[in-house]
Structure 1
């Protein structure tokens, strides 16, 4: 038995001391970009994100819809692994089908396909246009395009053929596969087009839509891969990884992450070894969770692409109460950051740290980044939003979103906690969180707060923020001083 000579501290127990704000410290110059996976010092990480936020590997959080939205604003989502392999791979593919400007073909039909079937497929995939090919598949010779604007079932009949209402290839403006996105958009605006087929010989390689032009301008921070597809991560486990990893890699997942409340395990090392032996450096796998430098070093030596820090600090997690395991998030982070920096000095390799849990508000995120976290994983934060998959319910006139932990009975994730296939006890709860609206609005607000904090501390990027930040522990009395009750003014009708 060993007792550490410290008090386990949370992120709430620290404040930042302002630094010198220079003329260079403006919102336009602050860069929140960060490395997501390990890289040699002085070299670029293979995966970077412009917004240092990722979503938790949870059923109540990481749907394809949320993954698309989060990638558009510069973050990254991890599709949860508490589902069959084929369903998780399908979720990953759904996100990867979104390409910045160039869209993969969602619906392909033949010239004899009935209009009723065309309408059904367009509705099922939420697409506005289908490609018509001679064979009816994506490899077939291009004949034309058809959209819901080209027919009306009551007027033309559900049994009439797609070929009778399609816009034929001869009358369409097209672009070669070598065209850049700028060139494609020029053609769209010059010829007043809604859709531009991009051709590779007789085959349609992709589509460029006019409606995507503004989205491309709006989401200039989007997390995209080399083919301009949105990036997405996926959770894995240390049990069925030999089946799950290949399926997720084939589906296009940009990064994987072992999903466990306690990552200091030979099973995680064996999983990392399998991926390294099978794929080399081509596939990146994060690991965790850990709360001290020993566990970090173990996973870093095993090849983890990044390491998640935090046990028992999540709003939905009851691991500390059930098992007595955990550590205050600030104490855990400071210990692991020290080990991470020592590892970098010894090996020349930077292994990013993900702060997972113990983050109740935006100021806690700033504190975690100042302490040395490279990015932040959030569950409750994203569960509150429109894009999360959980239902929205009204309770006593107030709107909420359902939220449950992966260690709860509702998740039925017994294998994640080594309970032999059935839930003997829970390490998470099932409840509700106040509904908070759009992901786009909330992430933009969080970015603004983080930017403002960094400006006050005299930093314009996260690396400098970590190096130069000055923090001070605070007493309970410090918070009482700012906690005096004030009756807030209600907005008037004019406001």
Structure 2
């Protein structure tokens, strides 16, 4: 027999609730779900992933940004590892890559392979100073067994497919299709490397029209820090993270407020702090 004196109220579950539909005068394709995440960052769907080590690293952050949301890389990593996760997102897609990763021809191939794996790229422009002298791609390395040989000995250095600085994505697409290659090296009048456009990036822009991108066409990503992680903040900003999240269980505290204020005073980047649960906070 139930003891009614111990029942303080009636509870309901999700299955007990029905959202009643009403008339609408537009179709789903006309719905605008854009929202402002911060003063300077707008997302196209109101979805932000949790900064948890079981939830958000670069893979989810990339997928979420492609669909219009944003991922927050968790902080349960070394500073260097978290910085790499941010870099993977920022370099996963580009419009025109103005600062491509480069190597010099005297370095060993093993260095290039390590960099390709860390940055998730399949080709690296090779320069002497700022002058373009070749490109090293995975195709060049496909049957190579000695990873100690110099890049100069295996890189592609003749018949390079290049375009002038200022080449648009549409122009690049025509050049790449004509020459049946996947990477277009941009050079200025002095033969210096000025940028890089890849067919993969061109395809991604068309495949994900609602993706959240920064002014340079790269996917946006956030990263979490603790209340004392000043070196972590510096490293993440160096990796060009879009937003810093001061992540604690109780955001309405002295340490959180001081950390958020320090970031704003020293860097030109938007800051999110939390968790908070009251209007006063």
Q: Deviations over 1:17-74 (max 9, x none)?
A: 322122xx11221122211114xxxxxxx21111211110111111122212221121
1:144 aligns with 2:134: yes
**Structure 1 residues 476-487: aligned runs within 5 Å:** none
Query: What residue in structure 1 maps to residue 84 of structure 2?
Result: 90
1:17 aligns with 2:25: no
Choose the corresponding residue for 2:48, options 40, 50, 54. Answer: 54
Change (3 A) 1:266 1:27: same
Query: What residue in structure 1 maps to residue 6 of structure 2?
Result: none
Choose the corresponding residue for 2:239, options 240, 248, 251. Answer: 251
Q: Residue 114 of structure 1 contacts residue 158 of structure 1 at CA under 8 Å; is this kept in 2?
A: yes
Choose the corresponding residue for 2:182, options 177, 187, 194. Answer: 194
**SS of corresponding position for 1:269:** helix
Query: What residue in structure 2 maps to residue 293 of structure 1?
Result: 279
CA–CA distance in structure 2, aligned partners of residues 95 and 288 of structure 1: 23
Choose the corresponding residue for 2:253, options 262, 265, 287. Answer: 265
CA–CA distance in structure 2, aligned partners of residues 37 and 82 of structure 1: 24
**Structure 1 residues 106-185: aligned runs within 5 Å:** 106=101, 108-115=102-109, 118-119=112-113, 121-123=115-117, 125-134=119-128, 140-153=130-143, 158=147, 160-168=149-157, 171-185=159-173
Query: What residue in structure 2 maps to residue 415 of structure 1?
Result: none
Q: Residue 95 of structure 2 contacts residue 216 of structure 2 at CA under 8 Å; is this kept in 1?
A: no
Number of residue pairs matched by the alignment: 271
CA–CA distance in structure 1, aligned partners of residues 117 and 86 of structure 2: 20
Q: Residue 142 of structure 1 contacts residue 202 of structure 1 at CA under 8 Å; is this kept in 2?
A: yes
Query: What residue in structure 1 maps to residue 215 of structure 2?
Result: 226
Change (3 A) 1:133 1:99: same
Q: Which stretches of structure 1, 4 residues or more, deviate above 6 A after TM superposition?
A: 7-11
Change (3 A) 1:167 1:17: same
Change (3 A) 1:118 1:272: closer
Tell me how far 1:143 sits from its aligned partner: 0.2
CA–CA distance in structure 2, aligned partners of residues 9 and 292 of structure 1: 24
Task: Point out where structure 2 has 5 or more consecutive residues left out of the alignment.
Answer: 1-8
Task: Point out where structure 1 has 5 or more consecutive residues left out of the alignment.
Answer: 1-6, 39-45, 296-495
CA–CA distance in structure 2, aligned partners of residues 236 and 153 of structure 1: 43
Over the aligned positions, Cα root-mean-square deviation in angstroms equals 3.0
Change (3 A) 1:16 1:269: same
**Structure 1 residues 382-397: aligned runs within 5 Å:** none
Tell me how far 1:159 sits from its aligned partner: 5.5
Change (3 A) 1:80 1:205: farther
CA–CA distance in structure 2, aligned partners of residues 8 and 205 of structure 1: 67
**SS of corresponding position for 1:55:** coil
CA–CA distance in structure 2, aligned partners of residues 198 and 8 of structure 1: 68
CA–CA distance in structure 2, aligned partners of residues 190 and 8 of structure 1: 70
CA–CA distance in structure 2, aligned partners of residues 185 and 73 of structure 1: 23
CA–CA distance in structure 2, aligned partners of residues 247 and 241 of structure 1: 10
**SS of corresponding position for 1:234:** strand
Choose the corresponding residue for 2:65, options 64, 71, 75. Answer: 71
Q: Residue 115 of structure 1 contacts residue 153 of structure 1 at CA under 8 Å; is this kept in 2?
A: no
Tell me how far 1:93 sits from its aligned partner: 2.3
Change (3 A) 1:204 1:32: same
Q: Deviations over 1:222-256 (max 9, x none)?
A: 11111111111011222x14333233222211111
Change (3 A) 1:274 1:9: farther
Q: Residue 116 of structure 1 contacts residue 153 of structure 1 at CA under 8 Å; is this kept in 2?
A: no
CA–CA distance in structure 2, aligned partners of residues 11 and 37 of structure 1: 34
CA–CA distance in structure 2, aligned partners of residues 249 and 117 of structure 1: 25
Change (3 A) 1:117 1:235: closer
Change (3 A) 1:204 1:10: farther
Change (3 A) 1:233 1:131: same
